[in-house]
Structure 1
Amino acid sequence: MKASTLRRHYRESFKNLRRNGWMTFAAVSAVTVTLLLVGVFLVVMLNMNKVATDIEKDVEVRVHVKLEASDADKKMLEQKIANLPEVDSVEYSSKEKELQNLIKDLGDDFALFEQNNPLYDVYIVKTKRPIDTPKAAKKIEKFTATEAAIYGEKKVEKLFDVLKTSRNVGLVLILGLLFTAMFLISNTIKITIFARRKEIEIMRLVGATNWFIRWPFILEGLWLGILGSVLPILAVVIGYRYVADEAAMRLQGEFIQLLDYFPFVLQVSGIIILIGAFIGMWGSFMSVRKFLKI
């Protein structure tokens, strides 16, 4: 495409936006409402996914070492655990340290056990993928020096099922919302193009090619998508600042945290503007191609 032709298409697209003020307002409003819903839902789902990932990362296997195990047995057990393909890290915690943690968490009454410590030496094992925790625990239980491999069997497996289901449901809802947004915006743009069908017929009669006619409408859809994304982006940037500040105060010291304000809002803003631009261009292209039979 020649530079002069491209400049002409840009001028025509901006001119059409001004010329069809009310239709432009209707299309931008449709884009704004749908992208606002998409943006809010995107923020919620990405934070839910982050919380789910944090919960998964907190899952670990606590391997109790047999009381009669020698230092050599412990070192061999640690080596065997570390060599498992599912294992990411192995951390040793002596029974003395375990008792101190117990006293710290439950009170000084447990200090009585310092003379005769009944606890086990423990290896704290984390897997590369949290979902592999049950598999690693079953393998570790078979090692000679292992007394028990504890990971909250039924609760952990139920947790993984719930997280998997929530992620799948979230993905389906986002896709459904995007499809609805595309449908609504496409129909709004279709109305604006229908109102200008005579203009298109005249262009065809004077010999304009299909793509020569399409390009101003596609660019117009691009501007509609970008304009419609402005308010949703502002709502996400301002709203998430308030939510992030509140969450920082209320969740202080907790292992579950929301995504950091930066660069999260920039990423979401980029996604919103890309979705708006794509839907606007796609809606214009499909409307011109199918509805007006060009």
Structure 2
Amino acid sequence: MKVRTVRRHTRESFKSLLRNGWMTFASISSVTITLILVGVFFVIMMNLNKVATTIEENVEIRVHIDIAANKKERNALQDKIQNVSEVKSVKFSPKEEELNNLISSLGDDGNAFKLFEQDNPLNDVFIVKTKNPTDTIKVANEIKGFDHAAKVKYGQGSVERLFKVIKVSRNVGIVLIVGLLFTAMFLISNTIKITIVARRREIEIMRLVGATNWFIRWPLFLEGMWLGILGSIVPIAAVSTIYYYSYQYLKPKLASNFIQILDFTPFVYQVSVLLLLMGAIIGIWGSVMSIRKFLKI
């Protein structure tokens, strides 16, 4: 396509936007409303996914070593655990460290346990993490059968429910986002279709004077793209502003917690680019479907 033709199509698409003021406003409004919903829900789902991932990464298996096991037997147990294909890391925590952690976690109530510093009744522990958090249960059950593994803890019962909730929430989130996107496409497609219907006579005249199908289509494709891009401006501003204040409010409250939300930057830039691309693609898609299925050009 020649540069002169591209300029002509671009100029005509802008003229059409201005000439059909109310229809342009209706189309942009449709894009804006749907992208605000998609943007807000996407931000929520991405942060829930971040929280879920953080929780999964903190799931670990604590293997209590038999008190009667000597160093050689302990090392043999460690080697067997490390040889399990699903295991990512194995960290040794001596019983002295376990006692100190217990005392620290209990605060003032932990002072009573300082009496056991001379005669520590706790076990040495291997802290095991899996490559995939969902393999935790399988690996824990396998380790239970190893020699000198006195007790294996991984939050049995709670971990299963946690993984189930995370899986369901992720699946529901994906379905809702896809549903919102298709709803956005349907609404925008219908709005653009009405715009094209109102200009049917103009398109028929262009065909009568010999304009090719692609010569007619290109300005409409560009018009759909501009509608999508213009419609994404308000959602980008709204979602960025909402997330900025939410981030400023929640970040200090979560500072002492292992649960964290996504940092404002670069996440807000990623969401902005995504909304801009979604607006443009949905606008073009709406134009394509309207022209191809309705006008049969």
Class of the TM-score when normalised by the shorter of the 2 chains = over 0.9
Please, which runs of 5 or more residues in structure 1 have no aligned partner? none
Correspondence for 2:12: 12
Asked whether the equivalents of residues 247 and 257 of structure 1 are also in contact (C-alpha less than 8 Å), the reply is no
AA aligned to 1:117 is N
Correspondence for 1:119: 122
AA aligned to 1:138 is N
The DSSP-based 3-state class of the residue aligned with 2:146 is coil
AA aligned to 1:193 is I
Correspondence for 1:174: 177
CA distance in 2, matches of 1:96, 1:250: 33
CA distance in 2, matches of 1:89, 1:100: 22
AA aligned to 1:128 is K
Q: Which digits, 9 at most, give the CA deviation of each residue in 1:195-243, with x for residues without a partner?
A: 1010000011111111110110000000000000000000111111111
AA aligned to 1:223 is W
AA aligned to 2:265 is F
Give the structure-1-normalised TM-score.
Answer: 0.98
AA aligned to 2:78 is E
Q: Which of 197, 201, 218 is equivalent to 1:198?
A: 201
CA distance in 1, matches of 2:274, 2:116: 57
Correspondence for 1:59: 59
Correspondence for 1:71: 71
CA distance in 2, matches of 1:246, 1:127: 34
CA distance in 1, matches of 2:25, 2:96: 71
Q: Which of 248, 254, 261 is equivalent to 1:251?
A: 254
Correspondence for 1:45: 45
The DSSP-based 3-state class of the residue aligned with 1:144 is coil
Q: Which digits, 9 at most, give the CA deviation of each residue in 1:109-168, with x for residues without a partner?
A: 111222221111000001000000011111111111211111012110111011000100
Alignment of structure 1 residues 1-294 onto 2, 5 Å: 1-106=1-106, 107-294=110-297
Asked whether the equivalents of residues 59 and 151 of structure 1 are also in contact (C-alpha less than 8 Å), the reply is yes
Give the structure-2-normalised TM-score.
Answer: 0.97
Using the TM superposition, give the Cα deviation of residue 6 of structure 1 relative to its aligned residue in structure 2, in angstroms.
Answer: 1.3
Using the TM superposition, give the Cα deviation of residue 250 of structure 1 relative to its aligned residue in structure 2, in angstroms.
Answer: 1.1
Q: Which digits, 9 at most, give the CA deviation of each residue in 1:35-55, with x for residues without a partner?
A: 000000000000011111111
Q: Which digits, 9 at most, give the CA deviation of each residue in 1:48-78, with x for residues without a partner?
A: 1111111111100000000000011111111
CA distance in 2, matches of 1:125, 1:172: 34
CA distance in 1, matches of 2:251, 2:50: 15
CA distance in 1, matches of 2:280, 2:73: 63
AA aligned to 1:246 is Y
Identity of aligned residues (%): 63
Q: Supply the RMSD in Å over aligned alpha carbons.
A: 0.8
Using the TM superposition, give the Cα deviation of residue 283 of structure 1 relative to its aligned residue in structure 2, in angstroms.
Answer: 0.1
Number of corresponding residues: 294
Using the TM superposition, give the Cα deviation of residue 285 of structure 1 relative to its aligned residue in structure 2, in angstroms.
Answer: 1.0
AA aligned to 1:75 is N
AA aligned to 2:257 is E
The DSSP-based 3-state class of the residue aligned with 1:263 is helix
